[in-house]
Each structure stands twice: as structure tokens, then as C-alpha cells.
Amino acid sequence: MGGTVIGAEAFLSGCKTATKYGESLNFTPEDIAYLNEIAETIIPATSTPGAKDAKVGEFMTVIVKDCYEEKDQKAFLEGMKKLDEASNKLNNASFIKSTAEQRHNLLVNLDKEAKDHQKNKKQDDPSHYFTMMKQLTLMGFFTSKPGATQALRYVAVPGKYEGCIPYKKGDKAWAT
């Protein structure tokens, strides 16, 4: 997954805020709460913690500010507004005020739109904003303590290497 994440080269070379855009990029607590709600719609709390429990909104803001190129930062910020506008158009309510079902349906539509965008985009075009949000949600959740230790099987100090372990239906994936 790491190689397909937008901004993955930043993880290999180190995050830096060399662009003027990133230096002035500030997310408000309301922005973080909004991103937490988007992430929670993608990974809701069930018998395991959800994305909001892992503070994925805060994770997104750090990665976007410190690791994304200017064009991707701009697409992400504009996407936050577009998502809320799409919610107002579809549900007659902002994303925050929409029901869980309305939020889910909106994000399913945006996911289809993002896949179409990916098929038709040029090499220099930024990725679709929802693709960025979804990737950051998944990465932020599954690399967090709640995601790795409660949603995945986790062994802090594993024992010997076992290359072939029988899978039982319903087993959780292993954290790495």
C-alpha cells in the first residue's frame, strides 16, 4: 500500500515543508473534527475502534501539511469544501449535520467519482481529493495504536518465523 499512497515518496525521503503553500497551511480544530467525521464514515467504530478513536483527522492534517506537494495540498483543501458542497446538494445538509446513512451514500458516490477521475487523469494532474482522504484514513488508522492493536492481530515481540499459519474464517489480519 505504501507505494500507492499519494505523497509516498515523502515517506521514503522524509517530510519537509519547503513549499510556500505548506508554510501558511493551517488547519483549524473544526477542520480536524470535520476530517475525523469523514474518516469515521470510512472506518466506523464497531466491535473495534473507529477512525475517530485513532485521531485520523489530526494525522491527515500533519501529512497534508508536511508531506504533500503544493498541487496535492491545494486539491485536498478544495476537496474539503467540495465534499461539503456535495453533501449540501445531495442531502440538503452539511456533511457534519447529515445522518450516518447520508454520509455513507455520499462517500460511495465520491469513491466512484474518484475512480473515474483516476482512469482519465493526466500524469501531472493531482489525484482526486477523496482518494487522498481515503488513503490517509486507511494509513492513519492501521498505523495507529488502536488500529494496529485492536483491529488487527498484533504481537509486540513476535516469536519464531512461521511462514504458513492456517487461516480460520473471521481471523483478523496481522499488523506489521
Q: How many domains is the chain built from? A: 1
Q: Is 93 contained in some domain?
A: yes
Q: Is 165 contained in some domain?
A: no
Range(s) of the domain holding residue 8: 2-151
Q: Is 145 contained in some domain?
A: yes
Tens of pLDDT, residues 17-67 = 444 555 668 899 999 999 999 999 999 999 999 999 999 999 999 999 999
pLDDT at site 32: 97
Half-sphere exposure of 82 (CA within 13 A, CB side): 15
Q: Is 163 contained in some domain?
A: no
Strand partners, 153: 174
Kindly report the pTM of this predicted structure: 0.78
pLDDT at site 101: 97
pLDDT at site 158: 67
Tens of pLDDT, residues 127-168 = 999 999 999 999 999 999 999 888 888 877 767 777 787 888
Residues 8, 59: contact at Cβ < 8 Å?
no
Read off the pLDDT of each residue in 164-174 and give the average, rounded to a whole number.
Answer: 83
Residues 39, 53: contact at Cβ < 8 Å?
no
Q: Is 91 contained in some domain?
A: yes
Q: Is 164 contained in some domain?
A: no
